[in-house]
Amino acid sequence: MPKVLISDELSPAAAQIFRDRGVEVDIKTGLKKDELIAIIGQYDGLAIRSATKVTADVLAAATNLKVVGRAGIGVDNVDIPAATARGVVVMNTPFGNSITTAEHAIAMMFAVARDIPAASASTHAGKWEKNRFMGVELYAKTLGLIGAGNIGSIVADRAQGLKMQVVAYDPYLTPERALEMGVTKVELDELFARADFITLHTPLTDGTRNIINAASIAKMKDGVRIINCARGGLIVEEDLLAALNAGKVAGAALDVFAVEPAKENILFGHEKVVCTPHLGASTTEAQENVALQVAEQMSAYLIDGAVSNALNMPSVTAEEAPRLRPYMKLAAQLGSFAGKLSAEVGIRKVTIEYEGAATKLNTRPLTAIALQGLLGPLMPSVNMVNAPVVAKERNIAVADTKLEAPSNYQTLMRITVEMDGKTRSVAGTLFADAHPRIVSIKGITVEAEVTPHMLYVTNEDKPGFIGALGSILGEAGLNIATFNLGRRTAGEEAICLVAVDEAIPQSVVDKVRAIPQVKQAQALDF
């Protein structure tokens, strides 16, 4: 019988689920690291929240451990690379606290609109300062939503119930999904200009880090109020403080901070700032939901071998894994390649086609991995399990088909991305049954291996292009590893894929774009 240790506080119902599924369970909370190391070797599964630190030392002692289940989203307390190296599956529960987090954002918006915390403290102190706490209504105000995924869409729905107008910025938000949500899709600068309240619901990425800064605040309305219940690091706290002191920002409500736990912060004590200690998921219902979900997932894996919401492995059975492994690599590379070419454009539909030997496989995990690669450039938190859910939330239609007709290749996989006014496709195959190669881009035949640093160019097939390109790369000191060309017909559209040994500076890309024959140039890092 599998045995699980619950080392953090979870709902008692979670332990009962384990028992009902035929899993033995021990509950030992508050263990010190050496105490956990001393006993972890007895267990097949470890159920945690945020207190237990699953370090490389703990994993080294966990000789029988097969799965770590995190009741919640964040897994900063788990050494995922070390877990992967030891064959331990790491699971989380990404959607168990969505409603709770959205409700907290709405509560924070009310609090900052009416100065509720400061008014409460004043009244507790025996004061009666009615004139001091003059708030504003939410009714008929414009809410600017940065991030319109699962939590953001719930916030939008609640805000509409308050009769607010909602404008939303999200690179993956399609017009159809915006219409379904009842929001107006806008670019970021327009959101800044229109919003009376701005709330953030986006992951922390290189593209979103410091998205609220002095420059963006300057574009906002005077008297704007800002709410962040998403991630610390989205706001430059020094710039927000300056804007609060200047009166540009009328108030801010923050549940997350750049450094946590936030025992000290430059915004603490400001009369126009409402702060809570990362309480977005802190409700009885959310804690119950994530506890039950993690128990169900871990039990399914330990009893049946089913994998769901795994962060470090695909959802495939042990029998399928050896056959699917090279196809997974191909799917990931094709999806990532297509995603990097489509990251700035709203995606409407993704079609994934399988030909030849690939049609005999379980293609569901391959499709999920391809979607992960496609959505990854703007959403690094997406994984192969939640990628289909993320696509559905953004109203991205996903179709996968198996073509039984004879193929020119022993096996082939093609991804076609339909966007606003554009369609892009990329196809690949396996050479010698194990080595992925791109064999077609936009219907143009080109054979290339995906490497860490590549330059993608579309150009007119005219004399002088290759020489000009080579000169630019040479002058920049970029060594060419491979140089792959393809064209439709002589003198028409052509594609060039160049692999180089190091990252390509933007200045080099700009020079390539200036070549007369070039239509598009983009550096791709994998």
Please tell me the distance from the alpha carbon of residue 91 to that of residue 67, in angstroms, as a whole number.
Answer: 7
**Who wins on pLDDT, 28 or 300?**
28
Please tell me the distance from the alpha carbon of residue 330 to that of residue 413, in angstroms, as a whole number.
Answer: 8
Please tell me the distance from the alpha carbon of residue 426 to that of residue 373, in angstroms, as a whole number.
Answer: 13
pLDDT reading at 390 higher than 70: yes
pLDDT of residue 50: 84
- Tell me, rounded to whole angstroms, the distance of Cα 396 from its chain centroid: 15
pLDDT reading at 380 higher than 90: no
Please tell me the distance from the alpha carbon of residue 28 to that of residue 6, in angstroms, as a whole number.
Answer: 6
pLDDT of residue 100: 93
Lowest-confidence region among 134-138, 226-230, 313-317, 325-329: 313-317
Lowest-confidence region among 8-17, 179-188, 279-288, 320-329: 320-329
Reported as half-sphere exposure (CB side, CA atoms, 13 A), residue 82 has a value of 17
pLDDT of residue 525: 86
Please tell me the distance from the alpha carbon of residue 384 to that of residue 373, in angstroms, as a whole number.
Answer: 9
pLDDT of residue 343: 62
**What angle, 0 to 180 degrees and rounded to 10, lies between the N-to-C axes of helices 465-475 and 506-513?**
160
Lowest-confidence region among 112-126, 285-299, 383-397, 438-452: 383-397
Q: What is the mean pLDDT of residues 340-349?
A: 76
pLDDT of residue 372: 86
Q: What is the mean pLDDT of residues 60-85?
A: 88
pLDDT of residue 393: 78
pLDDT reading at 316 higher than 70: no
Average pLDDT, the chain: 90
- One-character DSSP codes across 423-439: EEEEEEEEETTTEEEEE
CB atoms within 10 A of CB 312: 18
Active-site entry in 104, 158, 177, 278: 278
Which domains are assigned to the chain? Answer: 3-94+285-304 (3.40.50.720), 98-275 (3.40.50.720), 314-442 (3.30.1330.90), 451-526 (3.30.70.260)
Please tell me the distance from the alpha carbon of residue 18 to that of residue 4, in angstroms, as a whole number.
Answer: 8
pLDDT of residue 286: 85
Lowest-confidence region among 32-36, 209-213, 223-227, 321-325: 321-325
**Who wins on pLDDT, 47 or 316?**
47
Of the pLDDT bands very low, low, confident and very high (cuts 50, 70, 90), residue 36 is very high
Q: What is the mean pLDDT of residues 271-291?
A: 91
Lowest-confidence region among 87-96, 173-182, 209-218: 87-96
pTM of whole model > 0.75? no
pLDDT of residue 172: 86
pLDDT reading at 433 higher than 60: no
pLDDT reading at 144 higher than 90: yes
Give per-residue pLDDT as tens, 438-476: 999 988 888 888 888 999 999 998 898 999 999 999 999
Alpha helices per DSSP H over 134-247: 150-161, 175-181, 188-194, 214-218, 237-246
pLDDT of residue 320: 67
**Who wins on pLDDT, 325 or 214?**
214
pLDDT reading at 485 higher than 80: yes
Lowest-confidence region among 16-25, 75-84, 131-140, 150-159: 75-84
Q: What is the mean pLDDT of residues 370-374?
A: 90
Q: What is the mean pLDDT of residues 192-198?
A: 98
Active-site entry in 177, 231, 394, 437: 231
Q: What is the mean pLDDT of residues 407-425?
A: 87
Query: Tokens 């008297």 label which residue?
Result: 223
Q: In what order do the strands lie in the sheet with 518-525?
A: 480-487, 493-500, 453-460, 518-525
**Who wins on pLDDT, 172 or 377?**
172
Of the pLDDT bands very low, low, confident and very high (cuts 50, 70, 90), residue 307 is confident
Q: Is 278 a catalytic residue?
A: yes
Return the H-helix or E-strand segment holding 36. helix 33-39
Q: What is the mean pLDDT of residues 33-52?
A: 95
Q: Is 177 a catalytic residue?
A: no
pLDDT of residue 52: 95
Please tell me the distance from the alpha carbon of residue 139 to that of residue 325, in angstroms, as a whole number.
Answer: 54
Provide the percentage of residues in the chain whose pLDDT is more than 70. Answer: 96
Q: What is the mean pLDDT of residues 365-369?
A: 87
Q: Is 502 a catalytic residue?
A: no
**What angle, 0 to 180 degrees and rounded to 10, lies between the N-to-C axes of helices 364-375 and 321-342?**
30
Q: Length of the chain in residues, anyone?
A: 526
Written as six digits, the tokens of 312 are 């470090």
Active-site entry in 260, 271, 404, 475: 260
Of the pLDDT bands very low, low, confident and very high (cuts 50, 70, 90), residue 478 is very high
Of the pLDDT bands very low, low, confident and very high (cuts 50, 70, 90), residue 386 is low
pLDDT of residue 385: 56
pLDDT reading at 321 higher than 70: no
